[in-house]
Amino acid sequence: MEAVLSRYENQITILSDYLEEFPETDEPVWILGRQHHLNTDKSKLLLDISARLWFTYRRKFSPIGGTGPSSDAGWGCMLRCGQMMLAQALICRHLGRDWQWEKHKKQPEEYHRILRCFLDRKDCCYSIHQMAQMGVGEGKSIGEWFGPNTVAQVLKKLALFDEWNSLAVYVSMDNTVVIEDIKKMCWSPPQSSSVAHSSAHLHRSALGRNKNTAGFCTGWKPLLLIIPLRLGINHINPVYIDAFKECFKMPQSLGALGGKPNNAYYFIGFLGNELIYLDPHTTQSFVDSEENGTVDDESFHCQQAPHRMKIMNLDPSVALGFFCKEECDFDNWCSLVQKEILKQQSLRMFELVQKHPPHWPPFIPPTKPEVTTTGAELIESTDKLFELEEEFEILSV
């Protein structure tokens, strides 16, 4: 059955998603906060796009939950898009936005460590296994399609167990971003010594080599900001288009999650009125890390001209992503939003407010629970993972 489904998915990709390369035009192309000109630096543009980590359907990985699916073909596309957005945040955090990937070129250890976070294994912190099982707590059965908001909530929860990257993940509510809440979360004090000691006792093996000492120090935690939006009822409202495109110009941009009903894409930029996206609807075989920790990474980069679609064909349910490594990056983002997004006095794409709305429940920065009861084995590190398997059993829902 898996083989038939795999062939079907690949045929769909070949028949319906093939598009010609970029046209000759004087219009600039915007990719995740960077501007490119096709007439002068087309190769640089394609290099920039191929550097993004590309996560697609995979097959032949270990069954999710021990007895579940061993392929996410047909249902995991939004999860893969969420992985791509998060991976871009981690690239910016550790390697910088201008880092470039080249085939067969030796890459820094941080790059391979990032990639290992997303391998299709139950003990990798952002694997399809962890995301699918965490989705159960969001009301999604394993093998069920996710929407943009569900993926955002899942990433927010999983990030609590990732000490190496130590991200603060903020998912906006009711189309509103609250500056006060974000600063409270990103400047949260470290864990108390008793909680830290208890956590270390539970996961001694994991905390050895991979402990992020910065995670236990005061300071700004790098921010992954996700804004789920509904930009229309059945179709995107044209009034939002300019503001939506403006988001891809911001240096903090991580693109957007969205697509069409039950068909998710990771949008990374635009040209004119066409959105540029990475498509997860290609089924590839499971890839594991080598003994030395490196990963054969060619299948994790899209090395062909990217796909494009008319912005008016976009489903109105989307999620914008932004990454702010330092507080000054967030302050700059707020200024850009005030200037470029909120200048519309009629229908605003979202609101940016200084203070926590008084009619909302109090904001409490999320913290890692001392005992995992979610149904997924949530791990604290991305290294020494095999050592955990005999010591801890993955919880099944």
Tens-place pLDDT, residues 141-150: 999 999 999 9
What are 248-296's pLDDT values in tens digits?
999 999 999 999 888 999 999 999 999 999 999 999 999 998 888 788 8
Distance CA 207, CA 297 (A): 26
What local confidence, expressed as pLDDT, does residue 190 receive? Answer: 54
H or E segment and range at residue 210: helix 204-210
What local confidence, expressed as pLDDT, does residue 23 receive? Answer: 75
What are 174-215's pLDDT values in tens digits?
999 999 999 999 996 654 433 333 333 333 333 333 344 333
pTM to 2 decimal places = 0.83
Residue owning tokens 């991580």? 254
Which percentage of the chain shows pLDDT scores above 90? 67
What are 97-136's pLDDT values in tens digits?
999 998 888 999 999 999 999 999 999 999 999 999 999 9
pLDDT at 89 over 50: yes
What local confidence, expressed as pLDDT, does residue 36 receive? Answer: 94
What local confidence, expressed as pLDDT, does residue 56 receive? Answer: 96
Alpha-carbon Rg for the chain in angstroms: 20
pLDDT at 326 over 80: yes
Q: Fill in the amino acid letter for 240.
A: Y
What local confidence, expressed as pLDDT, does residue 344 receive? Answer: 65
More confident residue, 393 or 255: 255
Q: Fill in the amino acid letter for 284.
A: Q
DSSP string, 58-103: EESPPPGGGTS-SB-TTT-HHHHHHHHHHHHHHHHHHT-TT----T
Q: Fill in the amino acid letter for 370.
A: E
Strands (DSSP E) contained in 94-243 are 168-171, 176-178, 223-230
CA-nearest of 127, 130, 112, 161 to 55 is 127
What local confidence, expressed as pLDDT, does residue 291 receive? Answer: 80
Which residues are identified as catalytic?
77, 279, 281
Of the pLDDT bands very low, low, confident and very high (cuts 50, 70, 90), residue 386 is very low
pLDDT at 392 over 50: no
Q: What is the mean pLDDT of residues 314-331?
A: 97
Q: Where is average pLDDT lowest: 23-37, 108-122, 180-194, 340-354?
A: 180-194
